[in-house]
Amino acid sequence: MMGIESQNVTDYPNSNTIFMVWKLGDDPKVKDVFRQLCALVLNLNNSVFNRFPDSRASCVMGIGHNAWKILDLPSPLPKELTHYEEIRGDKHVAVSTPGDLHFHLRADNKSLIFDMAIEISKLLTPVAESILEVHGFKYWDARSILGFVDGTENPHGEDRDFFAKIGDEDLPYKGGSYLFVQKYIHNMDAWKSLSTEEQEKVIGRSKENDIEMSDDVKPSNSHIALANIEGENGEELKIVRDNMPFGSPSTNEFGTYFIAYSNTFTTTKKMLTNMFVGNPVGNYDRILDFSTAVTGTLFFVPTRNMLDEFSG
C-alpha cells in the first residue's frame, strides 16, 4: 500500500524561483483542466527528477479556499483552509488579496522552472487569469535585498517535516501543508538612509555575520523579536520559509516574496499579528516601516496522493 507522499514543501531554498498566482474563471471546462493540471504537476516533478536528479527542481501547487469550492474538492475542507482576512494594525496592514492556485517552482537551473511555468500557463490560460508572477533569485549568501541573511531561524532535519506538514490532528489531510504568501515591496531609499547600526536594530541581528543580538540589547520591536513566536506553554512554534528576493533595477522596484509552509495556519497568523498589530499592541515590527505587504493569500498544499486522486 502506498504511503503518504507530500509535495516538496520542505525542500531547501535554491538559486532560482518562479511564483505564480492564478484566478479561475467561470469556464465550464475548468474542472477538466484542473484534473489535467494535477496530472501535469505530478508529471513535471517526476520528469525533472528522472532527467536532472541533482537539480533540486520541484513544482509545488497550492489551492485556495475559493478554488476548493469551485472545483468541488473533498468536504469537509482542511480544518484551517478559510478565506484569509486582513490583519490590521494601527499603522500597517497585512492585506488580503485573491488567488485560487499558487505555484512555487524552484531549481538551481532557471531553464527548468521556466519550462515548467510555460507548460502550466499553456494549460491554465484558457480557463484562468494570471494575477501575479514573481521571479526570485538567490542573492549572495541567502540575503534579502535589504542586505541581511533571510531564513536563519528555519527548522532543519526532521523538524522541517514536523512544522511544515499536517499530522494526525487532521487525518484526511495528513501530509498536506498550509501555504501563506505575501509580496513585500521595500523602500530602499528610506532603508539606505539608516546607518548599519540602525538597520541592525530593526532586524535584531548583525548585518555582516548574521549573529542575533542578546535579549538585553535586541529592541522589542525588532523583526527577530516579533517574528519568533512561542505557544501558550512556551513551546517553540516555527514555519518553513522559502523567501526569495526579487527586483527590477531600472524601475527601482525591489522586494521579498515571503512564503511559509506550516502544519497549521494558526502559527503563521500569530506571527503576522505580532508583526502588524504588535506585542504588546502598538509595538509593531519596525521592518514594516520599510517593507510594505502588497499581497496576502492562504492556500492548502495537498499531498501527491491527493493530486493523483484529483487527476482521475
Q: Which string of DSSP letters, residue by residue, matches 145-201?
A: TTSSB--TT---THHHHHHHS--GGGGGGTT-EEEEEEEEEE-HHHHHTS-HHHHHH
* CA dist., res. 92 & res. 86, Å (int): 11
Counting Cα atoms < 13 Å in the Cβ hemisphere of 286 gives 18
Catalytic residue among 150, 170, 189, 216: 150
Q: What is the DSSP letter of 159?
A: H
Of residues 63, 301, 298, the one with CA closest to residue 173: 301
**Grid cell listed for 209:** 555575520
**Grid cell listed for 290:** 520599510
* CA dist., res. 138 & res. 214, Å (int): 28
Task: Give bridge partners of residue 63 from the DSSP assignment.
Answer: 101, 300
149 phi/psi in degrees, rounded to 5: -60, 135
> Is 54 part of the annotated catalytic residue set?
no
**Grid cell listed for 228:** 519568533
Contact 164, 261 (CB under 8 A): yes
How many C-beta atoms lie closer than 10 Å to residue 258's C-beta?
22
Contact 291, 182 (CB under 8 A): no
Give the dihedral of Cα atoms 110, 61, 269, 271; nearest 10 deg: -20
* CA dist., res. 79 & res. 173, Å (int): 9
* CA dist., res. 37 & res. 235, Å (int): 39
For residue 208, give the amino acid letter: E
Could you list the active site residues? 150
